Structures are given as C-alpha cells and as structure tokens.
Amino acid sequence: MMRRYSLSIVCGLAWLWSCHAVSAPNMGDVVSDAAFELATDCPPGFALNTGQCELRSLYQLYASLQDGGVGGLKTGLPTYRDGFTPQEIDLGRYLFFDPLLSADNTISCATCHQPDKGFADGLGRSVGMGGAELPRSAPSLWNVAFQDSFFWDARAKTLEEQMQGPLYDAHEMGGDPVSLLSKLNASEPYRQLFAQTWPQSYEAGEDIQLDHIYRALAAFQASLVSLNSRYDQYAHGFADALNEQEKEGMNIFRSFVARCAECHTPPLFTNRQLAVIGTPEPDGMPFDPGAGPVLGEDSLRGAFKIPSLRNIDQTAPYMHSGRFETLRDAAEFYNLGRGHAVPEGEELKIHWHVWEPNLTDYEIDRLVDFMKTLTDESFKPKTPQRLPSGLPLAHDKTLATARATTTGDN
C-alpha cells in the first residue's frame, strides 16, 4: 500500500515526465553472441529530449537554496549535470565495469564502487593494485551529478578530472593514457561502441579519443540518481512513508540541538562543503591532514568533504578512513563533544557546527532510524552480463580477495 501510494505521487505529474521513475532499468546488453548494442532509451529517472537524457524529479518543482541555508522538506536541487545521450551513458556503464581499464586487467571502477554496496566497497580503506591498501575509503557515487568537487579532500572539480586520479594512480588502477588508448583501440567491440556513440567522430575508423572515454564514464556516473527513498516520499506529501520513531529522528536531525542538517542539508543531505570535525584515525594510522595541504589552507588541516547521507546504511564503515563500523558509532562520535578525539599536538579549527548536543541514547537511536530511511536503490543500474573486452567481471572477486588479504582469512 505504501509503495503504490508513493509511486502515484511520482507518476501523477504526467505533464512533467513519463513514468521512467518507476520502470525497471532499460540499458542494453548483448543482442547476439557477436555484437553489443547500446541503449537508445534513457535510464530510469531521465526523459529523452532531442536526443539527450534530462533529469526528472519532483525536487525540480521546489526552489533551490543555492547554498543559502538549511531549508525545509520541499527544498529544490542545486545545479547538476545531465544532457548526455543514452549511448554515452550505456557506453560508460560498460567501461565502468570493465577491468580492461586497469594496468593488469584485474580492477574496474566498480571494484571500489560496487552497486550492491551503495557504490562504495564496504572497506574502511580501499584496495588497489596487488592488494595494496589505500589511504582512504571509497566515497559513494550516488548523486555525484550534483557535486561540485570530488575526492575526500575536494582536489578535483569535475568528474572527468576525478576519474583520472584512480585510472592513472600507480597504487589504484595503475594505468596511463597511452596504454589505456592502446588497449581500447585494440578491442574491436569497443571501437564499434564508440562509433555507435559518436558516429561522426569515428565514421572513417578513427582511433578512440581520451576525451570520449572520460565523457562516457562521467555520463554513466551522472546517471546514478537516488531521490526516491521513504524520506523523499514523506517530503513530497505522503505522511505515512515514515513511522513515528523515524519522524522523531527526522525532527532531532533537523533540530538546532543536534544540528545535523546544517552540514547534511536536504535534499542531498550534504552541503557539499569541507569541514574539520576531528574524527580519529583507526589505531596505528597516522593523522590524515585532509584538504589542508592540497588546497594550501592551514584552517583546513584535517578537513574532509561532507559526504551525502543518502544510502548511508549501505556504505559502512564510516568516515574517510572507515573509523566507525556502524551508523550509531558515527552518531555517537558527534555526541561526545567538540574536538574530543583530536590527537595530541594537533590544533585543529573544528567546524563551528560541531559542539556538544548531549543527546540521550534514545535520541541517538532515533537519528539512526531516520538515516536508514534515506536508502533508495530504485534506479540502480544493471550490471553487464558480459563485457566488450571479453574479460570477466572483477569487482566481486577482487573485493573478496582484498578482504582475505587485509583480514588474514583464507
């Protein structure tokens, strides 16, 4: 009953868009044993307009804060990226899952950003080439179309800039532009798919271009939209989408006592800014200075991007280094007081929103209840059944090996 009613809210605005928002993903895979054919329809949540996929959301009916404050339930979206073709998005999907993009054909983008783990990987610190443990955790990719900076330290300003980090980092995917182009150009299926996507650019059999690789990956990632959780259904007017304890948690979350919403601002549940909160590192790890050295700002020593809380229940462990195993642990950290975990010798400029709310155990439990209502996988894309490179999917196998390596399991 709840689901039928909530979907009617989405589908009722037929004048605004067709019911892409509730249909199953329609991204193409294999049309025969020999050929791949890219999708000609947009993924769910998007409408095709003059050949491009445009986002459709009820939040577009509301005024955006434009970084002006906390706002209410019916607050619009900030600026975002859309306007990619169905073919660009679907080509990006294949590239995202294909370990051909790594130096040794063992790691794909999906290794650290798995659809079934909130587009993160379930590790406190991600694992790269040869099982090497990386300095930080993998952020979720849900709703990156709305972000204006990337990485925990905000050092990249576009998706295209961000993706070159892992692609070419010796400890992550280990590649370089020359070898990436060589491998893709040696793949006849990929040459055909790039020609399907940009027929005018490849009509005479020209080689694949780097800019098109980056654009396809950006197109796919920008299609990862999660805006139809039970919270969203409540925000759009369906009062029964949340139970009484979850509503209590929402009110605590938005209160001036807890002040969660001042940084985790709806509807994205992030204000997209950097903040110094003084979270401790896992035992044995050195202090991570975060954005301070990267941006050359002493006041940002120990600062990290404020992550979105959407699908947060799926992305444990939490913080930039996986310090907290559960949502309750993370909430309790904020409740223990401003700067209580700053290591000796560090004088950090803790964000002014972080203070001592002195919440009760009951109130913390209700906060956790509310955060779990932000889960929405209704637009989760389909994992390809096979890849144009002919390689096997690597993300599940690689993660299992990584876990065994880092935990000592056999």
Asked if pLDDT for residue 409 goes beyond 90, the answer is no
Asked if pLDDT for residue 218 goes beyond 70, the answer is yes
Helix (H) or strand (E) holding 402: helix 395-407
pLDDT band with cut points at 50, 70 and 90 for residue 363: very high
Asked if pLDDT for residue 384 goes beyond 50, the answer is yes
pLDDT in tens, 337-346: 899 999 999 9
Rounded to the nearest 10 degrees, the angle between the axes of helix 188-197 and helix 86-97 is 150
Q: Is the peptide bond before 317 cis (omega within 30 degrees of 0)?
A: yes
Question: Which CATH superfamily hosts domain 2-226?
Answer: Cytochrome c-like domain (1.10.760.10)
Measured distance CA(388)–CA(335) in Å, rounded: 50
pLDDT band with cut points at 50, 70 and 90 for residue 397: low
Asked if pLDDT for residue 105 goes beyond 80, the answer is yes
CATH class of 243-372: mainly alpha
Measured distance CA(343)–CA(368) in Å, rounded: 27
Q: Which of 222, 221, 223, 247 is nearest to 233 (CA)?
A: 247
Residue 280 token pair: 């401790």
pLDDT in tens, 5-23: 334 344 434 334 333 333 3
pLDDT in tens, 162-187: 999 999 999 999 999 999 999 999 99
What pTM, to 2 d.p., does this model score?
0.89
Helix (H) or strand (E) holding 217: helix 210-222
Can you give the pLDDT at residue 35?
86
Give the pairing of strands 303-305 and 52-55.
unpaired
Asked if pLDDT for residue 403 goes beyond 80, the answer is no
Task: Kindly list the domain boundaries of the chain, sorted by start residue.
Answer: 2-226, 243-372
Measured distance CA(112)–CA(3) in Å, rounded: 31
When pLDDT is averaged across residues 334-356 and rounded to a whole number, the result is 92
Whether 2-226 and 243-372 share one fold: the answer is: yes
CA distances, 164 to each of 78, 218, 262, 303, 372 (Å): 25, 11, 32, 23, 32
Asked if pLDDT for residue 111 goes beyond 50, the answer is yes
The beta strands (E) that lie in 207-291 are given as 274-276
**Taking a C-beta distance cutoff of 8 angstroms, is the pair 373, 253 a contact?**
no
Q: Write down the mean pLDDT value for the chain.
A: 89
**What percentage of the chain carries pLDDT values higher than 70?**
88
CA distances, 222 to each of 53, 71, 218, 265 (Å): 11, 25, 6, 20
CA distances, 274 to each of 104, 123, 290, 305 (Å): 35, 22, 10, 4
pLDDT band with cut points at 50, 70 and 90 for residue 34: low
Mean pLDDT is lowest, of 62-66, 114-118, 217-221, for: 62-66
